[in-house]
Amino acid sequence: FIEERHEAGLVLEGWEVKAMRAGRANIKESYVMIKDGELYLIGTHISPLPEASTHIQPDPTRIRKLLLHREEIDKLIGKVEQRGFTLVPLNFHYKGGRVKCEIGLAKGKKLHDKRETEKKRDWEREKARLMRSPT
């Protein structure tokens, strides 16, 4: 459950920006880590374009620093360390020609919420199977 949303800048290399414009970024298994009072985006995969420059070695899964104001970072760190929240990237977008990452302050699901979600998913799967099968 997403409690709050924040917009953060990203420290990127030139080839990463071009690849993101071409829609080659994947945040499926990404998360935000706190280290030395700063936020880092880990697990984001940005596939380099085939026509990327030959004199650089692109690293698709490198750790990228997130840019926020100090007060915002301190507030987020406090919530993550004390109240069991976690930070997750939600999407990438452009604002004024710059790539931004929307990060969400999320609280994990309780066990009964997980069970309920699984029941709904199973029922949807069963329903789809029944609709497909000839009677």
Say whether pLDDT at 84 is over 80. Answer: no
Per-residue confidence band for 13, with pLDDT thresholds at 50, 70 and 90: confident
Euclidean distance between CA atoms 106 and 90, whole angstroms: 10
Lowest mean pLDDT among 35-44, 93-102, 111-120: 111-120
Cα→Cα distances 117→22, 96, 114, Å: 34, 38, 5
pLDDT tens, residue by residue, 44-56: 888 888 876 677 7
Name 53's Cβ contacts closer than 8 Å, sequence gap at least 6.
15
Say whether pLDDT at 40 is over 90. Answer: yes
Name 108's Cβ contacts closer than 8 Å, sequence gap at least 6.
84, 86
Give the CATH number of domain 2-108: 2.40.280.10
pLDDT tens, residue by residue, 115-126: 888 888 998 999
Say whether pLDDT at 77 is over 80. Answer: yes
Per-residue confidence band for 69, with pLDDT thresholds at 50, 70 and 90: very high
* Residue percentage of the chain with pLDDT more than 70: 94
Average pLDDT score over residue span 50-64? 79
